[in-house]
Every structure is written in structure tokens, then in C-alpha cells.
Structure 1
Amino acid sequence: MSQSINFLKGLPKSTSRLPASLMGLIVLITLVFLVIISVVLELVNFQAYKSLRMAQKNLLYAQEDYKRLTKDYPLLVSDIPFVIRVKNLEKKLQAKKVELNSLEHLVVRRGFSEYMFDLAQTTSNTLWLNQIQINHDSNSITLNGYAIRPDSVSELMSQLLTTNSFKNVIFNLFFVKTIKNHPYLKFSIATNALGPQEEAITEQAAQDQKAQGVK
């Protein structure tokens, strides 16, 4: 008696392997998905690059604006407190104003030699000056001297008004007094103050009397 066993009958009729067409479809779908992901990532990178370039441009603009701000408004970007900076600038401003006023004052001042030249041209031989006071700070001029005749003083004042140095000078004060036992008189003309003329004349007369007594 013989018995045969067919093991092929026990095998499953269908295999567990996927068909080639299905495998190809899966691979194709995977490739398409990867391509889509790559494109999306590339778009994201491109947008990030554009954003970076825009941020760099904005940074350059901001730096330029900051430089202009520091140039136009240095107080706003200084580490020193604003109040202290303002006080320091006010001190510097006051110092510059004082310096400017002194320079302007020096520039507009007339030279003393010009006054002397005009006085030499206008002073007659009937009078002589023994004291000349010219103060630019107080804008005052005082001329003291002696004259043989009273009208010589008036002539001097009128002649001074024709000169460049004294044409804008207004002599508001005028003083003339005779000196006892002397053939001449003491005079003083000034813009603001004559000074202690009485004392000067008295002292001069006393000195002259002593000199005559010694002789």
C-alpha cells in the first residue's frame, strides 16, 4: 500500500508580496510627496531669505537714522543725564557770549592814536591839554586843560565835531574857571563826568603860590 502526500496543496494560493504595479505607485506617491515637501521648504527658505534681506535693509536705514539723530540731537543719545547736559551747554553758551561781546567790543573800538591825531589837528596854540581820559567801557571822554581865552574852549569843541574821532561824541558837561593870580583859566569838557575839578584847581593854585613864595 502506498500513500503520497502533496505538500503544495497546503501552501496558500496567494503570496504576501505586493504587486509590482502597487509598489511602483507607492514609490511614485512617495517621490511626489518628497518633491512637494522640498518645494514647500524651498519656498519657506526663500521667504526667510527675503525677510532677512528686508531686515538687513531696515537695519541699515535704522543705523543711518541713528547717525542723523546723534548729529542733530546729541543730547538724546548721550549717557550723561539730559539736565546736566543742558546746564553744561548753557555754561558754554554764556562763556561764548562773554567772549563774543569782548571781541565785538574790541573790534569797534577806535585806536587811541586816532584821537591824539585829531586833537593835535584841532587844538590851537591858545590852549593846552594836560589830561585826556578816554574810556571805551563806559563810553566817556574827558578833556582837561588850560586856556588863555574862554572862547578857545568853545572853538575846540566845535572843531572836534568836524573830526572822525569826535564827530559822534556829545560833550554834555562843560566847566571853566579862572585861576587867581594867573593869566589863564582851567577848563574841562566831558561826556559823562567832569571829576573833582574844584579840588584840582585849588591844589594847583596852592602849588603855584608856594612856588612864587619860594622865589
Structure 2
Amino acid sequence: MYANGHAEKLQGGAVNKGIIQGVWSREDLDQTTKGSVVEGTKASLRRMELDYVDVLFCHRPDPHTPIEETVRAMNYVIEQGWAFYWGTSEWLPSDFIEACEIADRLGLIRPIVEQAQYNILHRSRVEFNYVDLYKKYKLGLTTWSPLAYGTLTGKYSSGTPEGSRYTSPMYQEGALRNNFEQRIATADKLKPIAAEIGCSLAQMAIART
């Protein structure tokens, strides 16, 4: 636009030079939700050596990004043929409902499945919070962490094993931070029940989910 397009040419040249010299990558420049989703999807497909996936999950909504923008981005991915469907992961029921309502209003593709943490110690979202959505929105469900980050293997009963997740600062300050000792105590109380039915705590936990 400026200087009959010369400004854009200069900017484009600088960007391409930076990419060639390794100062930044193309992915570094895509900071919008749509750009991140598109580049992230393409990168994942390259790593898996696939042309498409059946379902692409949007893991945890960005609180600073309008859900409409996320819905549009996921719809674009499907239109490109990189995925057949899209789903959510660890979304609140209210966010999932909003995404469906936006998709319906704009003629876009709804999310069809939620991927939620589900295990003996973490049950409420799957068993209670999402109950009304299964029928109303035909919500599918897939779950993760049946062993609660390894807590339900019983391996933390005698301390923290070397190389386990709790030795990582990322987990100490993140997913395993809240009520960790309480969860260990609960797992220990479940061991006699597993022994009574003739299986390990881990086997019982997986069977329960």
C-alpha cells in the first residue's frame, strides 16, 4: 500500500531473509489462533507422515482468544482436508456449548468430541458436568490419564521414584501440584480393594474407566 507497495516488498524481503538465516521460522510469525492452528496442524501431519487425521483436538481453550476465532480456525482446517472432524480437550461445558452455538449460527462445523481426564480420582466432569451435553449435542467422549499421572500405580507410596513425573519441575508446578499427597493417600486406601479382587491397583484403575 505505502509507496505503491514498496514497503510491503521491503518487509517481505526482511522476513524471508530472517527465515533463511535462521533468525526465526515461519511458525514464529503466526501468532494468531488461526495461524497457530494451521501451522501446528501442518507440522503435526509432517511429523506423522500423514495427509490427514480423523479428528483434530483443540487442547484447552485460550482465555485471551474469542471462541469464535477458534471455531473458524478449526473449520478452516477441515475445509483444507487436513482433518475430518474436530474436538475439544479439557474444555468447560459452557465453552463447548458456546462453540456449538457459534458454529450453528455461522454455518460452521461443530466440535463432535471432548477429550477429558477421567480416572477414579477425577470423575466429576465426565460423570456429571457433561451429562446433559451427550444427548443434546451428540457429544462423543474420549478420555485420558486413567492412572492419574501414575498416581494410581502405587509407585509414589514409598516416595518419589527416580525418573518419575514428579521429579520433573514441569509436573511439580503443574498437573501434580494440587492435592498430590492427598491423592497418594487415596491411592494407598484403594490397594486393599484391588488385592481383594486379585489384581493390581493399576489394573483396577484402568478397568474402572
| TM beyond 0.5 | no
| Structure with more contact order per residue of length (Cα contacts < 8 Å, sep ≥ 6) | 2
Q: Bin the TM-score by the shorter chain.
A: under 0.3
Under a length normalisation based on structure 1, what TM-score does the superposition of the two structures give? 0.24
- Say which one has the larger Rg: 1
| TM-score normalised to structure 2 length | 0.25
Give the helix-richer structure, 1 or 2: 1
